[in-house]
Amino acid sequence: MATPKPRVKVPKSAKAGETVVIKTLISHQMESGQRKDKDGKVIPREIIHKFACEFNGKPVFSCDMEPAISANPYFEFNAKVNESGKFKFTWEDDNGSVYTDEAAIEVS
């Protein structure tokens, strides 16, 4: 596929102190380094090795990822929100690229 593109699902609003469910998905082959091409040469590993979610600059959830994570990595986790603000999501690729996405939530 073209440049990895993230998708995130965050509720638009929540009550103060509520724990909300967050889902993220990103298109990525997650080349494991275990496969060989048709000439028998090992295809070098190229995966997203780190995912992180923060809210208003503070860490919420993160994951160290290994080649055993499936292509198009998916995460579902929770976040407890006490104030309105912005979630920031980052995915770090072995090739040095960092993919990001953001989502705002209104807390009442």
Partner 1 sequence: MNKNLVLLAAVAAVAVGVAQFAYADPVSDKLVIDGKEMITRAPAPEGHPFKEVLSGWLFREPETRALEADSFANPGMLYVERGEEIWNTVDGAKGKSCASCHNDASETMKDVGAHYPKWDAETKRPINIELQIDKCRTEQMGAEAYKFDAADQKALTTYIKYQSFGTPVKLDLAKGDMQSWWDRGKKEYYTRTGQLNLACASCHEASMGRHIRADHLSQGQANGFPTYRLKQADMVSLHNRMRGCIRDTRAEMPKAFSDELMALEVYVTWRGTGLSVETPAVRQ
Partner 2 sequence: MNINRRQLFLLSAGAALAGTGAIGVAPAYADAPAADKRIAEFAGGKAPATGKITLTAPEIAENGNTVPVAVKVDSAMEGDDMVESVMILAEGNPNPDVATFHFTAMSGAAEATTRMRLAKTQNVIAVARMADGSVYMDRKEVKVTIGGCGG
* Residue 14, H or E segment: strand 13-14
Q: Which stretch binds partner 1 (CB under 8 A): 33-41, 45-53, 71-79, 91-99?
A: 71-79
Residues binding partner 1: what is the number (CB under 8 A)?
14
Tell me the two tokens of residue 23. Answer: 């889902």
Q: How far, in Å, CA of 77 to CA of 80, rounded?
A: 10
Smallest distance from partner 2 to CB 100, Å: 18
- Measured in whole angstroms, the distance separating CA 21 from the mean position of its chain's CA atoms is 14
For position 65 contacting partner 2 by CB under 8 A, the verdict is yes
90 binds, among partner 1, partner 2, none (CB under 5 to 8 A by kind): none
Q: How far, in Å, CA of 30 to CA of 20, rounded?
A: 28
Q: How far, in Å, CA of 24 to CA of 26, rounded?
A: 7
For position 74 contacting partner 1 by CB under 8 A, the verdict is yes
Query: Which residue lies nearer to partner 2 by CB, 66 or 106?
Result: 66
The residues that touch partner 2, with contacts defined as CB under 8 A, are: 19-20, 32, 34-35, 55, 58-71, 73-80
